[in-house]
Amino acid sequence: MKPIRFATSPLLSERLPPWRQRLVLVVLLGAFALLVGRSLYLQGFNNEFLGDKGRARFERQIDISATRGRITDRHGDVLAVSTPVRSIWAIPEDAQLVPAQARNLAAVLGMDVHEINRKLAAERDFVYVKRQLPPETAEKVKALALPGIHQKNEYRRYYPAGEVMAHVLGFTGAEDVGQEGIELAFNGELAGKPGSRRVIKDRRGNVVEDVESIRPPLDGKEIALAIDSKVQYLAYTHLKQALAEHRAKAGGVVVLDADSGEILALVNLPTYNPNNRSKLAGAQLRNRALTDTFEPGSTLKPFTAALALEQGKVRFDTPIQTAPGKMTIGSATISDAHAHGVLTVAQVIQKSSNIGSAKLALSMKPEEMWAMFDSLGFGAPLKLGFPGEAGGRLRPAKTWKPIEQATMAYGHGISVTLIQLARAYQAFARDGDLLPLSLSRVVVPPTAGKQVFSAQTAREVRAMLEMAVRPGGTAPKAQIPGYRVAGKTGTAHKLESGAYANRYVASFVGFAPVSDPRLIVAVMVDEPSNGKYYGGEVAAPVFAQVMAGSLRTLGIAPDAPLAPLLMTAAEPTREEM
């Protein structure tokens, strides 16, 4: 068979149908037009898509941290400030460190090398190696020139006063967000608003060009507190000494300005160092003056007397028979430590008679006593904006039994916080009205507050409270040379599992100078266990030390001659129970 050459193949002589040639040409021209149209569309009319895809590979939007606002005391002394720090981060895929490099990095950072290797082995695009380092340490890391290891500028909160202000200020977390105290309560104002900028980064995360600023950061506002650093330190020092002396579990001190309602000091023990929280326990975080409730004991007796005076049931010198020192109500019996016989209303407060207070209470309707306690702020939080603030316990009047009404007259069956108790004593330090309390500095003090008692009633109870710290009263240890002082002691058993235990809370609330009250100081000592537990022995001396130092610090003039203080035997203090 004769072979056929390709060039002479008869198939090549065959002509395609004309319609087929035209169809192929049309298809090719259509495809070319489609490509040209698509190219014009993407590059001329809708170039955002390709631009976005391109920018996504090299452009990044970086957040610019806003500086957190400072916190100062009423005199401008800095209590909390943000200091520049750096955080070390890595891209695990790029951070392929040899063992020697990992050891060098661990040595500079003060970390275990196995911890660093674990972080760098993570299947993630970004990991923090260590955060909030001092700039000098960060510079040492930079000098190592390790691949895939980068740095980020941040801020860390610093608290110059440390333990003294811990419960007032609280602290911030690693992201510079408030976690406790003022830092949490005012976080919105302190934090500010972060900014952002657009940059070009290479594949290793290094910024090679700063493109533009998208939004400048807005720094946080500065907060000026009502706290006076000197008064706070005085309260902290004397409370700490008292807790050590009496081997107490905990304690608190509140100092108020009676003219403005400002909180000048707020101290709690035990405390913690907000600059080093590595071994922080939960109990240390509690701001006990606002979060812990207790039965106030005899510190409530003046309010019972004030209500009886206000209603015209008694007068300042109305006699009340307290003999034989015991009183049975239903199946329960209440008693005084010693029988006093006939006492005036003023002496009931001076001697702290349970019988006299119970008789005053039972002369009134339960609804009237409840309304008074409610108007004083008991049973509900004061709404200071502080996290975790408790309201205490004030049961509805319709549930009260006669014995419960009687015991509430001397502070049992009701619970309050120390800040509530201090604020309630404003009614006696002022002319019967209550001002709202303020954690921040008050520029223009209010001239009047919520009227609870008449001015006459407030002045009469003020005189009774002054008698309580004089010879024959329950708190001679609350006296201060050169100043007239008024106040009331309290000692109460602690409730445990619904029953009163052989543990106590000692307290004292008072104000000075009596001629023109300016400061209110409330002291609470929880579970003193060194033999003494009465408010007049444990809390009253703390009050005297804090009040004396505060009056002199604020330059408040004395209103009494500098005469030797007269003390009496401890016998009257036993009548607070």
Residue 298 a catalytic site member? yes
Q: Quote the CA–CA distance of 437 and 421 in Å, as a whole number.
A: 12
For residues 164 and 96, state if they share a domain. Answer: yes
pLDDT of the residue at 571: 44
- Average of per-residue pLDDT values in the chain: 87
For residues 191 and 282, state if they share a domain. Answer: no
pLDDT greater than 90 at residue 401: yes
> Which one of 65, 82, 298, 352 is the catalytic residue?
298
pLDDT of the residue at 410: 92
pLDDT greater than 50 at residue 277: yes
pLDDT greater than 70 at residue 7: no
Do residues 354 and 410 touch, judged by C-beta distance below 8 A? yes
For residues 168 and 265, state if they share a domain. Answer: no
278 vs 323: which has the higher pLDDT: 323
Classify residue 46 by burial, with Cβ atoms within 10 Å: 0-12, 13-18, 19+: exposed
Other CB atoms within 10 A of residue 121 CB: 11
Question: Does residue 30 fall inside a structural domain?
Answer: no
pLDDT greater than 60 at residue 204: no
pLDDT of the residue at 575: 46
Question: Does residue 562 fall inside a structural domain?
Answer: yes
pLDDT of the residue at 205: 55
pLDDT greater than 80 at residue 328: yes
pLDDT of the residue at 569: 44
Of 49-58, 242-251, 426-435, the range with the lowest mean pLDDT is 49-58
Please write the tens of the pLDDT for every residue from 281-307.
777 888 899 999 999 999 999 999 999
pLDDT of the residue at 497: 73
Can you tell me the mean pLDDT for 476-491? 95
pLDDT of the residue at 255: 98
Question: Does residue 363 fall inside a structural domain?
Answer: yes
Q: Quote the CA–CA distance of 534 and 571 in Å, as a whole number.
A: 11
Parallel/antiparallel/unpaired status of strands 250-257 and 223-224: unpaired
262 vs 48: which has the higher pLDDT: 262
For the domain that residue 160 is a member of, what is the CATH number? 3.90.1310.10
For residues 461 and 517, state if they share a domain. Answer: yes
Can you tell me the mean pLDDT for 251-264? 96
For residues 212 and 322, state if they share a domain. Answer: no
Do residues 184 and 178 touch, judged by C-beta distance below 8 A? yes
Can you tell me the mean pLDDT for 204-224? 71
For residues 202 and 237, state if they share a domain. Answer: no
For residues 175 and 306, state if they share a domain. Answer: no
pLDDT greater than 50 at residue 58: yes
pLDDT of the residue at 352: 93
pLDDT of the residue at 198: 66
Size of the chain in residues? 577
Predicted confidence band at 150 (pLDDT cuts at 50, 70, 90)? confident
pLDDT of the residue at 337: 78
CA 475 to chain centre: 32
Can you tell me the mean pLDDT for 491-502? 82
For residues 186 and 109, state if they share a domain. Answer: yes
- The structural domain count of the chain equals 2
Please write the tens of the pLDDT for every residue from 231-244.
999 999 999 999 99
pLDDT of the residue at 572: 42
212 vs 45: which has the higher pLDDT: 45
Question: Does residue 419 fall inside a structural domain?
Answer: yes
pLDDT greater than 60 at residue 212: no
The angle subtended at Cα 159 by Cα 157 and Cα 163, nearest 5°, is: 135
Phi and psi at 220, nearest 5°, equal -70, 160
Single residue among 177, 195, 224 that ends a domain in this structure: 224
Please write the tens of the pLDDT for every residue from 340-357.
899 999 999 999 999 999
Single residue among 203, 224, 245 that ends a domain in this structure: 224
For residues 412 and 519, state if they share a domain. Answer: yes
pLDDT of the residue at 573: 44
Q: Strands (DSSP E) along 455-518, which ranges?
A: 486-496, 499-512
Q: Which domain holds residue 203?
A: 63-116+125-224
Of 32-41, 71-80, 103-112, the range with the lowest mean pLDDT is 32-41
pTM here is: 0.83
